[in-house]
Amino acid sequence: MNYLLSALLALSFSVTAVETIEQINFEKEWIKVGHVQFQTELALTPEQRARGLMYRDSAENGMLFVYDEARVLSFWMRNTKVPLDIAYIKADWTMEPVQFLYPYDEKGKASLGPVIGALEMPQGWFKAQGLAAGTKIIRCGKKCE
Strand stretches in the chain, DSSP E: 28-33, 36-43, 63-71, 74-75, 84-89, 99-101, 109-110, 115-122, 137-141
Mean pLDDT over each residue of the chain, to the nearest integer:
89
Cβ atoms of 35 and 141 closer than 8 Å: no
Cβ atoms of 89 and 116 closer than 8 Å: yes
CB atoms within 10 A of CB 81: 14
Alpha helices in the chain (DSSP H): 2-14, 46-51, 125-129
Average pLDDT over residues 21-27: 88
- Per-residue confidence (pLDDT) for residue 11, from 0 to 100: 40
Average pLDDT over residues 58-82: 97
Q: Is pLDDT above 50 for 92?
A: yes
Cβ atoms of 134 and 95 closer than 8 Å: yes
Residue 17 confidence class, pLDDT cut points 50, 70, 90: very low
Write out pLDDT tens, residues 96-142: 999 999 999 999 999 999 999 999 999 999 999 999 999 999 999 99
